Amino acid sequence: MLQIYNTLSRSKQAFKPIVPGQVKMYVCGMTVYDFCHIGHARVMIVFDMVVRWLRASGYEVLYVRNITDIDDKIIQRAIENGEPISTLTNRFIDAMHADSDELGLMHPDQEPRATDFIAQMQGMIGKLIENELAYQSDNGDVNFAVRLLPRYGQLSGKSLDELNAGERVAIVGGKRDPLDFVLWKSAKPQEPADTRWASPWGEGRPGWHIECSAMSCDLLGEHFDIHGGGADLQFPHHENEIAQSEGALYGKNRKEDDAPFVNYWMHNGHIRVNEEKMSKSLGNFFLIRDVLKSFDPEVLRFFMLKAHYRSPINYSDAQLEEARAGLVRLYTALAQAEAKTVTLDPQNPWAKRFADAMNDDFNTPEAIAVLFDLASEVNRAQGDEQQTLASTMKSLANSLNFLQRDPTEFLQAGSKQDSGLSAAQIEEQITQRLAAKLAKDFAKSDLIRKTLLDQGVVLEDKPGGLTEWRRT
């Protein structure tokens, strides 16, 4: 049975969907005012993996990932650029989709934009006011009264006195308490007309947190299975989502037998660069599109999933080169046999070991270790046994979106950082080496092999006089 580490309970729990055979999952997506960086890539890759494994396990999955297309940073960037909000956000939504496609990821089943759900947000804010959990300040903002909700802090595991307001919760005049957070921001005179909507509380726009509560409840219901996102969202964003969603539905006191907003909370670890958390303020962040200029998309996916999704990972070119070397090893094994994607018997020992790893809170490092062990067996086997093992390896990797390309194509592509010989130049050298061997000029033949190796090209002589090559 699938076990998921639930941030809410701080333990692994057996996964039991609300409706048998069906999973509803919401993941916090991007704020679209700039190109996506590798921190965004990790969120996209991790939850793409989660959806793939759930579907491979027989679940019908509804995967929703939102787009925040109204936000202080978006407004600031649009004003700086002198362009409408929609022009800015549409451009970066297109760029996000291009990055995702380049990475070979599935699009979510639904990708709601915040600006399409203003009415739902206002409806939820109205319920919170009715339930005496929200109030309008003198400055026009509507705020959530955190201390009126006794269970606030359940996700972060801290008491109210231990919590701070959080990175994206501004402490401004008009709040009754520093922990209170904004639900509706009153429009400022200098803000463009396309950043404000009419409301019972005056013109303005939604706060960041209310967006996800309204969109997830509208599309998945007031009680759904999985909510995911980066670890930095655990507090305050996800804590505030719980407060808003359950506060609107149940008021100040949710009873023990009342269904929670979400059953399982999943958070992926941070990306670190030189052992520091990646952030724009430190200037140590890398855009997905820039990384893909130097590394194959499958290499970046492999790098991300070599580590457990909850673990922080340290990013560097050396780490990506190590990931590429791992993929080369796996593809080299596949190149020895005509592997096919087949349906595996769940009792197949390799399939069982792989499934046990994935069902242990999506333990991709252990699942990938199964692929490496299979590669070793493929290298030792021959004939039908080799083909069966290679097909098993390719089929298991399919659920992680790895090893589905032609092995020769991958191995000959090499690293995008290679500035060496073209394929045509390599083939010409192989032809010259064959001629030298036929002329029994073995010194020249060996020299060509060594020269190619020095330039990052490995030659492998096969039966029948054929020579195959790959880049190191």
Q: What is the CA radius of gyration of the chain?
A: 27
Residue numbers in the known binding site for ATP are 280
Within 8 A by CB and 6+ apart from 25, the residues are 47, 50, 51, 54, 61, 62, 63, 64, 224, 225, 226, 227, 228
Residue numbers in the known binding site for Zn(2+) are 28, 212, 237, 241
402, two tokens: 């790895």
Contact 267, 228 (CB under 8 A): yes
Residue numbers in the known binding site are 28, 212, 237, 241, 280
Which SS3 state, helix, strand or coil, does residue 33 take? Answer: coil
Kindly report the number of other CB atoms within 10 A of residue 83's CB atom: 13
383, two tokens: 């004939």
Could you please report the per-residue DSSP string of 125-141? HHHHHHTTSEEE-TTS-
Contacts 24+ apart (CB under 8 A), 418-422: 418/456, 418/471, 420/455, 420/456, 420/457, 420/471, 421/452, 421/455, 421/457
Residue 224: which region, alpha, beta or left (left: phi > 0; alpha: psi -120 to 50)?
Answer: beta
462, two tokens: 């096969």
